[in-house]
Amino acid sequence: MPENLLLVNTFQLILYKQIGQRWHYVRLSNTPDAQILIETGRCGQSPDSTTLQSFSTSKDPVTALRLEAEKWAVEGYHKPHQNNLQVMTLHFQMPRWRGYPAGAPWYDDWVTGYLDPIESMLTATRNGIPRGNERFSGNYLHYYAIFNSDLALEAVEKIAANAPVKFLLDIHIGRREKQVQIPIDPNVPEYLRSLFRIVEKSARTIASELPVLFPGDPMQPEPVSSNMFKRVLGETAATLRSQLKEKWNFDSSFWDPLTQSSPSEVVFLNGMADDRKQQVTEWIQQHVHKPLYLLDCETGLFEINASQIFTGAHEGMVFDASLEWVIYFSHHYTLTFGGAALMAAVKDMYREEPELLNNW
């Protein structure tokens, strides 16, 4: 899709159809000039047909896309059940690292050489959908539901061969995710080892039944973001990580209020209403020293804009080039604010509800 058509109010809907032994797709998206972009092709390849058709300006884009999707549904295009698809497991055996992966010294080489290009390839060719990941004892497993296993395998092998820094990768394709047993200390008694294996098997069985590949309404278009995070790498990334460690004692791991790790006073909230998030966003827009950054403990360091601060749930830190203030997001959904000026602004926002500050 041309980049100039990719706007904040762009939506897309992708449907699939199995023809013979191959899956095919249709991707529907709206353009700024009230048209629907229709892309069709075989999963694993770029579109072989791209057309534009106008829709009535009296219809909103979501409604227009739904109506067009219904026509394709009559032709047999749909959202397939996950059990009808192959699963590709990428099993990386990485140098041992305690803590979140984004703090590891090898993380940037790994994600830019392997994970980012693999996910970009699967998205561009409509040939894969992330199904989550797990990690333990140096084993990093990433799962994708795929439509064309041959082309997916070929593409991943090519990406791995071209990666500047090599990591040990095993690619497994089958009806289910590849599983690796979690190591148990040899000093653990046998009866406890057996109990652990039973619990591990039960947990994985339950987890395999929980994911829904296409949750909700299968004909509901999804928004397409025009503001993808820009990854920060190299010397700039190393300097920012070092400065965060020096000034805020943050090293891509748990931070206040979970631990007393901040070198100065902070204030935290156990959740925040949308209107207050908007107030914080406006304060930052007025006081930011660009660039603005997000260090996500799971996925790395990115340059963002103020409107992206509260998007998604993550463990990590938002800060600007001055490092005079920080916002820390925890996986417990707490928000911690550091820096005298930002703290004062947050306290003022809650002057009528002071009991919400620093309260679990």
pLDDT for 7 equals 42
Q: Whole-angstrom Cα distance, residue 75 to residue 240?
A: 52
pLDDT for 311 equals 83
What pLDDT digit, counting tens, does each position of 127-168 carry? 999 988 988 888 999 999 999 999 999 999 999 999 999 999
Give the predicted TM-score (pTM) of the model.
0.81
Which amino acid does the sequence have at 115?
L
CB 235 within 8 A of CB 241: no
Can you tell me which residue has the tokens 């748990």?
254
What pLDDT digit, counting tens, does each position of 46-104 carry? 999 999 999 987 789 999 999 999 999 999 999 998 778 999 999 999 998 888 899 89
Q: Whole-angstrom Cα distance, residue 141 to residue 119?
A: 14
pLDDT for 82 equals 77
Q: With CA atoms as reference, report the closest residue to 25 among 78, 71, 67.
A: 78
H/E element, 130: strand 128-136
pLDDT for 228 equals 67
pLDDT for 75 equals 96
Torsion-angle region of 220 (φ positive above 0: left; ψ -120 to 50: alpha; else: beta): beta
pLDDT for 193 equals 59
Which 8-state DSSP code applies to residue 214? S
User: In 114-233, which ranges are continuous DSSP H helix?
Assistant: 116-124, 149-162, 190-209
Residues of the chain with CATH 3.30.70.1710: 82-180
CB 233 within 8 A of CB 108: yes
Q: Whole-angstrom Cα distance, residue 185 to residue 130?
A: 32
Q: Whole-angstrom Cα distance, residue 340 to residue 287?
A: 13
Please, which contacts does 93-100 make with residues 24 or more away whose CB atoms are closer than 8 Å?
93/138, 93/139, 93/140, 93/167, 93/168, 93/170, 94/138, 94/139, 94/140, 94/167, 94/168, 95/138, 96/137, 96/138, 97/138, 99/251, 99/252, 99/253, 99/297, 100/252, 100/253, 100/297, 100/298, 100/315
- Token digits for 165? 């820094």
Q: With CA atoms as reference, report the closest residue to 288 among 301, 303, 269, 266.
A: 303
Neighbouring CB atoms inside 10 A of 318's CB total 24
pLDDT for 17 equals 97
Q: Residues 59, 62, 68, CA angle at the centre, nearest 5°?
A: 80
Burial of 51 (0-12, 13-18, 19+ CB in 10 A): exposed
In CATH, the number for domain 82-180 is 3.30.70.1710
Look at strands 49-54 and 86-93 and give their pairing: unpaired
Per-residue pLDDT of the chain (360 residues; tens, 9 = 90+): 443 334 447 899 999 999 999 999 999 999 989 999 999 999 999 999 999 999 987 789 999 999 999 999 999 999 998 778 999 999 999 998 888 899 899 999 999 999 999 999 999 999 999 988 988 888 999 999 999 999 999 999 999 999 999 999 999 999 988 878 666 566 767 656 566 566 656 655 655 555 555 557 888 999 886 556 889 999 999 999 999 999 999 988 888 876 778 888 999 999 999 999 999 999 999 999 999 999 999 999 999 999 899 986 678 999 999 999 999 998 888 999 999 999 999 999 999 999 999 987
Q: At what angle do helices 149-162 and 116-124 cross, to 10 degrees?
A: 150
